[in-house]
Amino acid sequence: MAEAIRMPLLSDTMKEGVIAEWHKKVGDTVKSDDVIADVETDKATMEVMPYVDGTLLYIGVEKGKGVPVNGIMAIIGKAGENFQSILDGEKKDLSPTLSKGEGGATAAPAQPAPAAQAASAPAPAAQPEANADERIKASPLAKKMAEEKGVDIQNVKGSGDNGRIIKRDVNSYTPAAAAPQAAKAAPAIQFQPAGTEGYTDTPLSQMRKIIAQKLAGSKFSAPHFYLTMSIIMDKAIDARKVINDLSPVKVSFNDMVIKACAMALRRHPEVNSSWMGDFIRQNHHIHIGTAVSVDEGLIVPVIKFADQKSLSQIADDAKTLIDKARTKKITPPEFTGNTFTISNLGMMDIDEFTAIINPPDSCILAVGKIAATPVVEDGAVVVRQVMKITLSCDHRVVDGAVGSRFLQTLKTHLENPVTMLV
């Protein structure tokens, strides 16, 4: 019996997925573990597998178009099988273009899909050296990524069907010779001649759309207030040197902040809570998200059970997750479930800033750089390494006194790192 392949929910904020590439066409034989399409979500571009065997009978939307979560992407069944009843049973109306192509005959509905793919096919033909392009089997997404990275796709070994090059092959290809080409591949901004106006319009990616919706919703629905504190990091700097002499993984200052936050959240569980509309949920687990900048925007990998992990374990998890986020290999369980978030711009030479709360969290910590600063101690002016932090709080959940006590505990751990080892 024919089965509908529906758009999966690939992230907690996802409403629709955009087809970045179809890897199969109508009439192809499909195995359950074949990648039939790449889908761009608000978080990353992911591969979709059908988990059924059969023949691809129907493609619901062409490349570059969106499909709502649980909407029909494709239909797989026996060759020649009638699947019209599946489409008829779909509650949502299909677009006029697709409706016209879904006539009553068994084989007729399959005809428009190849035509739609043929319409999008001229893009590879526009490439120089069309003959070479034909010899290299690669998805358009892989070609685009190779071009952006400055990678000669002819040198990449494909792991897809029949040696086809897919995005993970380009991501894992890192020869030393590729570095100079990457700089060459980056397009330069074309400034206008003197006295001439100009601009460039960039279409919104799914990630950027969701960032806009989610953070605008947070900023204008959650009553934010901000608490700023200065942390003297001299002892943390000394402790980090000793820790890194012993740790199998390099521990960063951000890793130390994550650990300190996790321990402070255990002492102040009210900060580890979420506004749920008509009740407040106090989480009994501590999952800390760290905002990471990627080409399309921001993604928040989550270190699960951070309070139960050592500094070296946190450092190892953070490095792995950040690498996955930047190479688009991160999976939904790895960027969802946060109960508290940290945004660190210290490495960008930012003194201090305020961050917008990342729902469903009730707080987010903004971390600035560590800088030599004159401070007064016992009536004398001394120079200390100071880091400024700002806690953004949702006043519906966290009051000023609660947030302040959390920061005091956090300050204690960072200024006396030995407390994090107990």
List active site positions: 395, 399
φ and ψ at residue 135, rounded to 5 degrees: -75, -25
Q: Please, are residues 342 and 289 in contact by the beta-carbon 8 Å criterion? A: yes
Distance between terminal CA atoms of the chain?
Answer: 60
CA 354/CA 308 separation, integer angstroms: 28
Helix axes of 400-415 and 234-246: crossing angle, nearest 10 degrees: 60
> ω into residue 360 within 30 of 0, thus cis?
yes
Which helix (H) or strand (E) segment is 421 a member of?
A: none
3-state secondary structure of 135: helix
CA 227/CA 2 separation, integer angstroms: 58
CA 91/CA 419 separation, integer angstroms: 58
Strand pairing category for 340-344 and 363-377: parallel
CA 40/CA 50 separation, integer angstroms: 17
CA 224/CA 1 separation, integer angstroms: 53
φ and ψ at residue 101, rounded to 5 degrees: -90, 0
CA 58/CA 2 separation, integer angstroms: 10
> ω into residue 8 within 30 of 0, thus cis?
no
